[in-house]
A and B are shown apart, each in its own frame.
Chain A
Amino acid sequence: MDLQFFGSCVLQFCVAMVATVCFSLAFQVPRRHFVACGTAGAVGWVVYIICTAAGLSMPAATLVATFPLAGISRFFAITHRAPVTLFLLCAIFPLVPGAGIYYTAYYLLNNEQILFASKGVETLKTAVALAMGIAIVCSIPLPRRISRHQYRGPKMN
């Protein structure tokens, strides 16, 4: 990793953080969680760009990026005693394949059927990768000692 790439990563980190905080605002997240949301989103995005720079495909990079993202979200859910959704929903936004949706429509319009099909499939794969990554991390059970502090309340039965 050379210096220039590192510099651009730092810049991307900051911008991704601001973008995620904007989304937390749109989702009416209370102010005290802004930094946590921003951090989770920015880490996810930076991991994503490092993975794509290393040559991973978009869905694979998204899958890898959701691991630290969801992990950080769970961490903040425990320390802030708030539902993990709060952090997760805001933080995944940079990784949502919005560009994929756009290009799929764009190629459809340009009558470029092959590009349309490949972009459409890639978009779908990215979306599934995103959800799978979250599901994997969120289904890792925590030790009882920690999960008791998590926000879902005591389990019945």
Chain B
Amino acid sequence: MTDRAMEMVVEAGKAMLENGGEVFRAQDTMEIMAHSLGIQEFRVYVLTNGIFASAEGEDGPISAVRHVPRVSVHLGRVEAVNAISRELAEGKLDLDSAEKALHDACAIPAYGFKVSLLAGAVGSGCFAFLFGGAGPEIVTAFCAGIAEMLIMQLFHKGGVSKVFTDIAAAAACTALALAVRPLWGAGYNPSGAIIGALMVLTPGVALTMGIRDIINADYLSGTIRLFDALLCAGCLACGVALTYMVALSFWRIPL
């Protein structure tokens, strides 16, 4: 019985981390769940990419370790897992129904391909406007947004590493913004369009959560996230820079 409860609690923590929940939230949730399910001597240590837990079972100590290598943000699932922990704490769920609810929570579908594509494109266009772009920049950013979302989705399906995906997406939107220059004429500023499209790729989540973790005194988790942000920002800069250099040296397109 304790084994099953332990398994369920650790899986809930894993689901939380995998879908973009914070470290302290995952830890809190697991402790609350374990307490509600009556697991004895539950101890857990959570990192950005791993969970270590131990407890006292019926036939001696039990432990559970989970590795969470890849995070893809799905806040709907975080909310659902949080709801399970609250209902457990209020005594509305027992172990069986909680297991079922967790299974359902992890199966909440993501928004469809077309919807994400449109969201990326509209988001890019909006940001081009917010950063001072006019008509040409907004339209270009919209198209660049479609291109980068396509790359992100396809590379993600193909299992390409995150580093290369970021470089390719940044390079693609820079290339597109530079390529349409003759189309728009003198009033067009490629930087405006590129910034709009890049906003969708920026590591805002990792950056902010990293600093938040550090302020929460989770130094190790914060450092992991900050490095993640730094790497992502480096990749974006790299993608933009490479495309500029290629454009400059092969086609003499000025910056």
- Chain A residues lying within 8 Å of B74, measured Cβ to Cβ, are 27-28
Output the least CB separation between A154 and chain B (Å): 5
In the complex, A12 Cα to B60 Cα: how many Å? 61
- Chain B residues lying within 8 Å of A96, measured Cβ to Cβ, are 199, 202, 204, 207-208
In the complex, A132 Cα to B207 Cα: how many Å? 12
- Chain A residues lying within 8 Å of B237, measured Cβ to Cβ, are 101-102, 104-105, 108
In the complex, A139 Cα to B24 Cα: how many Å? 13
Main secondary structure on chain B at its contact with chain A?
Answer: helix
Q: Which of A19, A85, A128, A131 contacts B25 (CB 8 A)?
A: A85
- Chain B residues lying within 8 Å of A12, measured Cβ to Cβ, are 130
A36 at the interface (CB under 8 A from B): no
B120 at the interface (CB under 8 A from A): yes
Interface residues on B, range: 35 or more
Output the least CB separation between B166 and chain A (Å): 12
Please report the number of residue pairs spanning A and B whose Cβ atoms sit closer than 8 angstroms: 163
Would B198 and A30 count as touching, CB distance under 8 A?
no
Interface residues of B in 203-227 (CB under 8 A from A): 204-205, 207-212, 215
Would B240 and A105 count as touching, CB distance under 8 A?
yes
Output the least CB separation between B44 and chain A (Å): 12
Q: Which of A45, A82, A135, A154 contacts B215 (CB 8 A)?
A: A135
A6 at the interface (CB under 8 A from B): no
Main secondary structure on chain A at its contact with chain B?
Answer: helix
Query: CB-nearest residue of chain B relative to A97?
Result: B202
Query: CB-nearest residue of chain A relative to B29?
Result: A153
A60 at the interface (CB under 8 A from B): no
Q: Which of B78, B116, B127, B244 contacts A94 (CB 8 A)?
A: B127
Would A22 and B119 count as touching, CB distance under 8 A?
yes
In the complex, A28 Cα to B110 Cα: how many Å? 6
Output the least CB separation between B20 and chain A (Å): 7
Would B120 and A22 count as touching, CB distance under 8 A?
yes
B186 at the interface (CB under 8 A from A): no
Output the least CB separation between B171 and chain A (Å): 12
Interface residues of B in 225-241 (CB under 8 A from A): 233, 236-238, 240-241
Contact mask for chain A residues 122-155; partner B; CB cutoff 8 A; 1 contact, 0 none: 0000011011101100110000000000011110
Would B25 and A102 count as touching, CB distance under 8 A?
no
Q: Interface with A: B82-90, B96-104, B156-164, which one?
A: B82-90
- Chain A residues lying within 8 Å of B111, measured Cβ to Cβ, are 25, 28
- Which residues of B approach A to under 8 Å, CB–CB? 19-22, 25, 28-29, 31-32, 35, 73-79, 82, 85-86, 89, 108, 110-111, 115-116, 119-120, 122-123, 126-127, 129-131, 191, 194-195, 198-200, 202, 204-205, 207-212, 215, 233, 236-238, 240-241, 244-245, 255
- Which residues of A approach B to under 8 Å, CB–CB? 12, 15-16, 18-19, 22-30, 45, 82-83, 85-86, 88-89, 92-94, 96-99, 101-102, 104-106, 108-110, 127-128, 130-132, 134-135, 138-139, 151-154, 156
The 6 residue pairs across chains A and B that have the minimum distance between CB atoms: A131-B211, A105-B237, A22-B123, A96-B204, A19-B126, A25-B119
